[in-house]
Amino acid sequence: MQTLIIINDPPYGTERLYNGLRLAHALIKREHEVTLFLLGDAVSGAKTGQKTPDGFYNTERMVKRVTTKGRVLLCGTCMDARGLTDDEVVTGAKRSTMDALAEATEQADRVLTF
């Protein structure tokens, strides 16, 4: 089963990105094909070099886990608006476009948004 998860919220402040990533991990564990598309402030969740307090979740590490068996796409326009370059994102996460999101939506059996 192909699942597309679209997330718009920032990495910290709300827990939507955190919960979307948790769901992605659970689906991957169940051998689903997962595509994660980060839009808006969510693209910052894929930034490298995040430092969080001990015991607090870290979206950089969580995104890396998704890239090992799933696909992580980042809105390129959203990255540009936030001054985030390709070199500053987690290895395996890729700059993407609305056309790619449209294609992933067409191919998905299920689309979830956070």
The whole-number pLDDT of residue 63 equals: 98
Q: Judge if pTM exceeds 0.85.
A: yes
What is the per-residue pLDDT across 36-78, written as a single tens digit (0 to 9) for each?
999 999 999 999 999 999 999 999 999 999 999 999 999 999 9
**CATH (domain of 33):** 3.40.1260.10
Distances (CA, A) of 101 to 37, 49, 50, 85, 111: 7, 27, 26, 19, 11
What are the backbone dihedrals phi and psi of residue 13, each rounded to the nearest 5 degrees, phi first?
110, -45
How many domains, the chain?
A: 1
Within a domain: 32: yes
Phi–psi pair at 66, nearest 5 degrees = -65, -40
User: Is residue 3 a contact partner of residue 32, using CB atoms and an 8 Å limit?
Assistant: yes
